[in-house]
Amino acid sequence: MKCRHCNTELKLPLIDLGSAPPSNAYLTEQTLHTPEKWFPLRVLVCESCWLVQTGDFAQADELFDKEYAYFSSFSTSWLQHAEQYMKDMTERFSLNEDSHVVEVAANDGYLLQYFKECNIPCTGIEPTASTAAAAREKGISIVEEFFGVELANKLATQGRQADLIAANNVLAHVPDINDFVSGFAILLKPNGVATFEFPHLLNLINENQFDTIYHEHFSYLSLTALETIFKESGLQIFDAEEHSTHGGSLRLFTQRADIMIHTVTENVIKLRKKEIDSGMNDSAFYKNFQKRADIVKDNFLNFLLRAKQEGKKVIAYGAAAKGNTLLNYAGVRPDLISYVVDKNPNKQGKYMPGSRIPIKGEDYLKGDKVDYVVILPWNLKNEVIEELSYIRKGGGKIVVTVPQLEII
């Protein structure tokens, strides 16, 4: 396989998680009795541009179909993060009713609803029908297509260039990263700004966050890799922020490289040095990740087997994509975890892909007696622990698996 960005032959493995179905391909009562399509889940490192990427096995249209079930608005902390982003960007870049904000991968309107409330014109680009429909219900204008150079040219020709483009947790999801990023320079107004937010590869490796690897994430990102990709696509990074979301994320601020209104901040220089000092441009940095992931998997499986032997009831909370990675890598089935609770009604009544564990609403949990609740979206640990305070009051315990097994 060759690198998606620079076409260099990929030889350095990061991790091999076996095979699994797409992590958001939840099963219904009908599809539960039909075969699932499984794909290898292997990640490689480009030793030329340092883009970390999955093997080319699954296509985007197989991963993001009309039944795509990830809705951003079911996380309270993420909504708070989105509202703060709106306030910060509006103040920093003087956005008003004469501005135009575009979000690429607008999902269910979790972010643009806040711009709309402030009467700032906005457009969402969202290719998945289920989440696009939810955004339209909030009164948000949605373009239901995949983003790239072709769509950017079409929107620019229609006079719909943007003062601000937000791309939160989408850059990892695109198979053709060059075409995707090149569209931003086209869609930006001359003085426009595009922000990209994504889980930081440095944290993923240092904190052993291997369960954030799944087929829908084609790339795993760093400033080291993106400075080259953005430059070749007509963008310049002028500022960078580190955030705690999703286990540690970066927010990069970019501008058109042919204009360059904004001065590059000290934050970019410090982040570049931090990655270099950590060894991210050296093959050795990537070589022990597999062993560390296997330890987490083995400890989790040992815990589940021990709980079963002791007659304890274990359920999980959060039918998240990262949970599916962990469950399928460990080979977990309903005999070890009875069911998964999720707030999202679009997931309730369905089954986890691969493991085929049933998904229930929280009311079901409140009427049940359980010994352990495993939090699958560990990045929301504090939020979920607070929501599940009644479990611990009733004598149950909370379990977190990443970066290491923890029983609370």
Which residues on adjacent β-strands are paired with residue 255?
Answer: 193, 236
Q: What percent of the chain has pLDDT over 70?
A: 96
pTM for this one?
0.92
Q: What is the pLDDT of residue 61?
A: 57
pLDDT digits (tens, 9 = 90+) for 360-378: 999 999 999 999 999 999 9
Q: At what angle do helices 321-330 and 289-309 cross, to 10 degrees?
A: 80
C-alpha 347/C-alpha 341 separation (Å) is 9
Place of tokens 């306030």: 87
Confidence of residue 228 (pLDDT cuts 50, 70, 90): very high
Q: What is the pLDDT of residue 73?
A: 61
pLDDT digits (tens, 9 = 90+) for 284-330: 999 999 999 999 999 999 999 999 999 999 999 999 999 999 999 99
What tokens appear for 147 in the block? 């983003």
Mean pLDDT of 66-85: 75
Confidence of residue 74 (pLDDT cuts 50, 70, 90): low
Please indicate whether residue 130 or residue 205 has the higher confidence score (pLDDT): 205
pLDDT digits (tens, 9 = 90+) for 38-64: 999 999 999 999 999 998 765 655 555
Assign 3-state DSSP to the chain and report helix, strand, coil percentages, each to 5: 40, 25, 40
User: Running DSSP on this structure, what letter comes out for residue 3?
Assistant: -
CATH topology of domain 72-286: Rossmann fold (3.40.50)
The class level of CATH for 290-407 reads: alpha beta
> To the nearest whole number, what is the mean pLDDT of the chain?
94
* Positive/negative CA dihedral, 372, 392, 352, 45: negative
Q: Do domains 72-286 and 290-407 have the same CATH topology?
A: yes
With beta carbons less than 8 A apart as the criterion, state whether 82 and 197 touch: no
Domain assignments of the chain as residue spans, ordered by start: 72-286, 290-407
Per-residue pLDDT for 66 more than 80? Answer: no
What tokens appear for 98 in the block? 């004469």
What tokens appear for 341 in the block? 């609770």
Q: What is the pLDDT of residue 67?
A: 54
pLDDT digits (tens, 9 = 90+) for 149-159: 999 999 999 99
**Residue 51 neighbours by CB under 8 Å, 6+ apart:** 3, 4, 5, 6, 45, 177, 219, 221, 225, 229
Which residues on adjacent β-strands are paired with residue 164?
Answer: 101, 193
Q: Is the peptide bond before 403 cis (omega within 30 degrees of 0)?
A: yes
Residue 321's SS3 state is: helix
With beta carbons less than 8 A apart as the criterion, state whether 352 and 377 touch: no
**Residue 383 neighbours by CB under 8 Å, 6+ apart:** 75, 76, 77
C-alpha 16/C-alpha 2 separation (Å) is 17
**Residue 268 neighbours by CB under 8 Å, 6+ apart:** 223, 237, 238, 239, 240
Mean pLDDT of 99-127: 97
